[in-house]
Amino acid sequence: MKKFLTILAAAFACLSLSAQTPFLEQLQKRDSILIADQLLYGVLFEKVPEGTGIALPELKDTASVRIVRPWVCDTLKVYKPGKESPVTRYDIKVGAVLTAFDQGEYVLPQLPVIRQFPGEEPDTLLLESLRFEVKTMPVDTTSFTPHDIKDVVRYPVTFMEVLPYLLIGLLSAGLIALIVFLIIRFRKKASGESQVKEPAHITALRKLEEYRGNKLWAPDKQKLFWSGVTDVLREYIASRYGIGAMEMTTAEIFRELKPQFEKEDVEKKVLVDEIENMFVTADFVKFAKHAASEQENASVLPLAVKFVTSTYESDIENETVAQKKEE
């Protein structure tokens, strides 16, 4: 007894299976069948009622015909229940892939199909046989000359072939440049925000506060103490009055600073003289190994703080007077 491959699915159909004709289609679309071409061999069942069972015979290789792929069932269309039928129906395509490696004419035998409707006894249907011819490429033996295997043909590269790579390269370079630009801009903005310049008097008072309580006026540390305090005042004078105090001598600094106080009251002029004397003492401490007295050491910080605050308050007073005059 022959073995059968049973195809069972949620739905199969057969409306007058005896009228169905098997098909044979080329998978390589040519005007003839050549050696090793693959053929799709099968049958189309239309409007199969749901629950129908169909069995097809198992295909086996022969000396000339080989089975590339066994039977495969595919649902092409679904018909929902309606007036024609109260059950769901389907269009089912069942096919196998064949091929032949010899030239000649082949006959596929009749295809037996076992069908069983739901609740009925199975019956056997025979589908007609099919013929097909396998051809080979004709060769003119009179003019045929064997040739050696040719090397791979290398065609010149065209501009259109290179154009996509050029566009990708330019786009990548543009994106990289944009990213670098945004990073630099972000860093500049961040550094600009973090480096907001504080007022000169705030900077000076903060630095002078660091010397309070450090006891740097001890004989072996006086040079560091006096240099630090006068350097803070030099920075303040340079920022506040636009004088290059960091590169000037004491005499040069006060020669340019005193004219700034010509219109000030006597108390501020005396304060400038006291600051000048402090700078002179600092020069002796730094360069002449002078040891300042305890009274001089104790008066340095208060005098420096007084100079910074008084000059800053003077600016506020002048701005207030000018504003009142404008109003």
Question: Around Cβ 118, how many Cβ atoms within 10 Å?
Answer: 10
**Under 8 Å CB-to-CB from 77, ≥6 apart: which residues?**
90, 91
CB 287 within 8 A of CB 249: no
Rounded Cα–Cα distance for residues 143 and 161 (Å): 39
User: Per-residue pLDDT for the chain (327 aa), expressed as one digit of tens each?
Assistant: 233 333 332 233 333 344 467 888 888 888 788 888 899 998 988 888 888 888 888 888 888 889 999 999 899 999 988 888 888 988 989 999 999 988 889 988 888 888 888 888 888 888 888 888 998 877 666 776 777 888 888 888 888 888 999 999 999 999 999 999 999 888 877 665 545 567 888 888 888 888 876 666 666 778 888 888 899 999 998 888 888 888 899 899 888 888 888 777 788 888 888 988 999 998 988 888 888 888 888 888 889 888 888 887 766 555 554 455 555
Token match 């008097």: residue? Answer: 201
Q: For residue 158, with 0-12 CB atoms within 10 Å meaning exposed, 13-18 middle and 19 or more buried, which class applies?
A: exposed
Rounded Cα–Cα distance for residues 214 and 216 (Å): 5
